[in-house]
Amino acid sequence: MKNLPFKKHSLLFAPMEGVTDGPYRLAISRAFSEWDYFSTDFYRVPTVGNIQEKAILKHYGHGALEKKSLRDKTSYQILTSARAQTKPVVDIINAQGFEHLDLNLGCPSKKVNAHRGGAFLLSDIETLKPIIKTIRESFDRIFTVKIRIGYRDDKLFFDLLKMFEDEGVDAITLHARTRDQLYQGTADWEYIKKAVKACSIPIIGNGDIWTVEDIVRIFDECDPYAIMMGRGALKTPWLATTYYEHRNNPDFLSEEFLLEERRRGLDIYFYELEKEYRKENVEDINILKRFKSFSRYLFDDFPDHETVRGRFLRSTSLNEFKAHLHDLV
User: What CATH number does the domain containing 160 carry?
Assistant: 3.20.20.70
Active-site amino acid positions: 107
**Are residues 198 and 138 located together in one domain of the fold?**
yes
**Are residues 231 and 296 located together in one domain of the fold?**
no
**Would you say residue 190 lies in a domain?**
yes
**Would you say residue 263 lies in a domain?**
yes
Q: What is the pLDDT of residue 57?
A: 97
**Are residues 187 and 299 located together in one domain of the fold?**
no
Contact between 57 and 96 (Cβ < 8 Å) = yes
Domain boundary among 251, 272, 299: 251
- Dist. CA 169–CA 289, nearest whole Å: 38
Domain boundary among 207, 223, 251: 251
Alpha helices in 189-230 (DSSP H): 190-198, 212-222
**Would you say residue 29 lies in a domain?**
yes
How many domains is the chain built from?
2
Sign of the dihedral defined by the CA atoms of residues 288, 293, 294, 295, in that order:
positive
**Would you say residue 4 lies in a domain?**
no
pLDDT above 70 covers a percentage of the chain that reads: 99
**Are residues 35 and 156 located together in one domain of the fold?**
yes
Q: What is the pLDDT of residue 248?
A: 85
Burial class of 141 by CB neighbour count within 10 A (0 to 12, 13 to 18, 19+): middle
Length of the chain in terms of residues written: 329
What's the rounded mean pLDDT across residues 170-174? 98
Q: How many helices (H) and strands (E) does the chain have?
A: 16, 9
Q: How confident is the model at residue 1 (pLDDT cuts 50, 70, 90)?
A: low
What's the rounded mean pLDDT across residues 72-97? 97
**Are residues 214 and 314 located together in one domain of the fold?**
no
Range of the domain at 244: 11-251
**Would you say residue 5 lies in a domain?**
no
**Are residues 306 and 239 located together in one domain of the fold?**
no
**Would you say residue 275 lies in a domain?**
yes
Per-residue pLDDT tens digits for 265-297: 999 999 999 999 999 999 999 999 999 999 999
Give 3-state DSSP helix, strand, coil % of the chain, rounded to 5: 50, 15, 35
**Are residues 244 and 108 located together in one domain of the fold?**
yes
Residue 111 has pLDDT above 80, yes or no: yes
Per-residue pLDDT tens digits for 211-242: 999 999 999 999 999 999 999 999 999 999 99
**Are residues 190 and 321 located together in one domain of the fold?**
no
Contact between 326 and 266 (Cβ < 8 Å) = no
**Are residues 163 and 259 located together in one domain of the fold?**
no
Neighbours of 15 (CB within 10 A): 26
**Are residues 172 and 299 located together in one domain of the fold?**
no
Average pLDDT, the chain: 96
**Are residues 160 and 296 located together in one domain of the fold?**
no
**Would you say residue 205 lies in a domain?**
yes
Name the DSSP class of 119. Answer: G
- Dist. CA 228–CA 75, nearest whole Å: 13
Domain boundary among 198, 230, 251: 251
Determine the Cα angle at 200 with ends 70 and 95, to 5°.
40
What's the rounded mean pLDDT across residues 138-166? 97
What pTM, to 2 d.p., does this model score? 0.96
